[in-house]
């Protein structure tokens, strides 16, 4: 701690300079300490943000896997004979519209483009409509895909009017149900352990 100058007399220039120098050094040390703590907090915040982002991505992957699980059979009920399913189909280039389709189901002259969200909101539906239009422009410009495309949106949680907006826009809505999981077939000789 900086020692105060005795105010009963006028300090000499040397005393004043020594006091000033010591105060300046103490301030610089506190400032460096503060800077170091601030940098450490910044690093911790960035690491926390990275971990939260990674967790969000993993949850998104889980939801995509749940939706993909038996979606082919669900669309067969509506008369589609899906022959191929792909995940995370990217499209576009520098000159043409670009984007990514979470799930891409193929049925001969029809393809079903599905956007999957952990929490599906109205804005996500509108964004998917835009994505469908961009994909149509992309395939028309490249001329390699003359199929028709239909849209679907999926969410573990459906918020507000998202389902209504999707249906009014001619887009299927996929929701979580009790059929979203199954038990993996145990290997030969498997016996359940009892506790």
In CATH terms, the fold of domain 70-175 is: Trna Endonuclease; Chain: A, domain 1 (3.40.1350)
Of residues 94 and 1, the one with the higher pLDDT is 94
pLDDT digits (tens, 9 = 90+) for 133-170: 988 888 888 887 888 888 989 888 889 999 989 988 89
Q: How far is CA 167 from the centre of its chain?
A: 24
- In angstroms, what CA-CA distances link 171 with 24, 112, 129, 148? 68, 10, 9, 14
- Asked if 103 and 68 touch (Cβ cutoff 8 Å), the reply is yes
Bridge partners of residue 154, in order along the sequence: 116, 174
The model's confidence at residue 101, banded by pLDDT at 50, 70 and 90, is very high
pTM: 0.67
> In the structure, what pLDDT confidence band is assigned to residue 9 with cuts at 50, 70 and 90?
confident
- If you average pLDDT over residues 106-118, what whole number do you get? 89
Residue 49 pLDDT: 81
Instruction: Report whether 172 contacts 150 (CB < 8 A).
Output: yes
Distance CA 100, CA 64 (A): 13
In this predicted structure, the answer to whether residue 47 has a pLDDT above a threshold of 90 is no
Indicate the average pLDDT of the chain.
Answer: 82
| pLDDT > 90: percent of the chain | 15
């Amino acid at each position: 701690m900086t020692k105060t100058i005795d105010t009963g007399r006028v300090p000499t220039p040397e005393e004043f300079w020594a006091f000033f120098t010591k105060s300046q050094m103490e301030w610089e040390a506190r400032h460096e300490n503060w800077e170091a703590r601030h940098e450490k907090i910044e690093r911790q915040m960035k690491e926390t943000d990275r971990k939260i982002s990674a967790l969000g991505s993993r949850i998104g992957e889980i939801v995509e896997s749940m939706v993909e699980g038996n979606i082919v059979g669900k669309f067969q009920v509506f008369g589609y004979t899906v022959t191929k399913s792909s995940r995370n189909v990217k499209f576009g280039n520098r000159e043409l519209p670009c984007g990514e389709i979470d799930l891409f189901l193929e049925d001969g002259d029809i393809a079903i483009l599905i956007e999957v969200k952990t929490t599906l909101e109205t804005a996500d539906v509108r964004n998917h409509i835009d994505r469908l239009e961009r994909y149509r422009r992309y395939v028309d410009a490249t001329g390699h895909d003359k199929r028709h495309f239909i849209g679907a949106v999926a969410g573990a949680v459906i918020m507000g009017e998202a389902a209504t907006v999707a249906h009014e826009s001619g887009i299927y809505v996929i929701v979580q149900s009790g059929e979203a999981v199954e038990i993996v077939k145990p290997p030969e000789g498997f016996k359940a352990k009892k506790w």
